[in-house]
Amino acid sequence: GTALLFLAVAFYLVMLCENCRVPVDDPETHLELTMIHEAMILDNSGPDLAVIHYASALKLWVFISFLATLVMPNMAAGTLVEFIVYYILILVLTVSIGVVESVMARYRFLKVPQLLAGAFAVAVLSIVLTSIFGGEWTK
């Protein structure tokens, strides 16, 4: 429903922030101000570096999977159609992250708290609308 849509938008913004994606952070840069996570990676190579990159990819997969189940909450996860819809939704969310990274530049550090405050406001709006209208708002 509409409340879940608001919640999904808020979670999408938090997902971008938590996974250090481009509108918030650029993991490929070597600037001192944005090297919070990059400094740990620079000390590793070989299998250790592979484990770090795998953990980062797995974290992004868990966030995208949670967002996909948030968008489609009534799936019983048993039929082939639901399985296909789930993975199509995963693909759409992954492509949307790629599009956001390609189109947008990295935000300045002063804009990141504003982005997170906006995500928080949208999440609170979802909760308020659900509490006011009850279950009817989510259908």
Residues 61-90: tens digit of each pLDDT? 999 999 998 888 777 667 888 888 889 999
What lies within 8 Å, CB to CB, of 81 at 6+ separation is: none
DSSP one-letter string for 32-72: GGG-TTHHHHHT--THHHHHHHHHHHHHHHHHHHHHHHHHS
Confidence of residue 32 (pLDDT cuts 50, 70, 90): low
36 is in which domain, residue-wise? 2-136
Name the packing angle between helices 2-18 and 47-71 (round to 10°): 170
Give pTM, 2 decimals. 0.76
The total of structural domains in the chain comes to 1
